[in-house]
Amino acid sequence: METSYQIRSAYRDEWEDAMALAWKTFLRFEADVYSEEGVQNFENFITDTTLHRMFVMGAYQMFVALDHSRIIGMITLRDTSHISLLFVDEQYHRQGVGRALMNYLTGYMADEMGIRRVTVNASPYGVGFYHKLGFRDLRSEEQRDGIIYTPMEYKF
């Protein structure tokens, strides 16, 4: 199946759709290994008005993958070099959308900011994906406020 999609910076009016995709995908693939506290903290994070304000001001960057006008994937960058969220719609898993988002992000970081290292706190579901892209674990799996993650980095 050939998929054509576009990747670009998210528009302000796409915030809600992107966060809805993150929430839906989190519930489907990740929530089952998180405590109730972790699920609640994730929801609080993606619905935080301060985070949205940072996005509007350009201090929290988001890039989206679109199939026509539908958001099928999203990635966010916090503190210039940390992936905060990366989600792909279930219908588009294993079709290169996540890899394309990562390639777009690392190209942006290198070209626009001269940064050649990115970090992520990978969810248990995402660890294998990040390893395939060349990320390496910085430490073993950790848990904070009910959120389970493996700190990772990628140098490019």
Average pLDDT value for residue range 102-128: 97
pLDDT tens for each residue of 46-63: 999 999 999 999 999 999
From CA 28, how far away is CA 3, in angstroms rounded?
23
Residue 73 is predicted with a pLDDT of 98
CB 9 within 8 A of CB 62: yes
CB 22 within 8 A of CB 74: yes
pLDDT tens for each residue of 86-109: 999 999 999 999 999 999 999 999
Residue 4 is predicted with a pLDDT of 80
User: Of 89, 114, 82, 88, nearest to 101 (Cα)?
Assistant: 88
Query: Which stretches within the chain are classed as H helix?
Result: 15-29, 36-46, 49-57, 97-108, 127-133
Residue 147 is predicted with a pLDDT of 96
Quick one: pLDDT band at residue 64, thresholds 50, 70, 90?
very high
CB 88 within 8 A of CB 96: no
From CA 110, how far away is CA 116, in angstroms rounded?
6
Whether the predicted pLDDT of 155 surpasses 80: yes
List, in order of start, the domains of the chain with CATH numbers: 6-115 (3.40.630.30)
The SS3 assignment for 6 reads strand
Residue 86 is predicted with a pLDDT of 98
Whether the predicted pLDDT of 2 surpasses 60: no
Residue 103 is predicted with a pLDDT of 97
Q: What percent of the chain has pLDDT over 70?
A: 98
User: Where on the phi/psi map is residue 58: left (φ > 0), alpha (ψ -120 to 50), or beta?
Assistant: left
The residue that leads in pLDDT, 61 or 3, is 61
Residue 1 is predicted with a pLDDT of 44
Inter-helix orientation angle 15-29/36-46, to 10°: 170
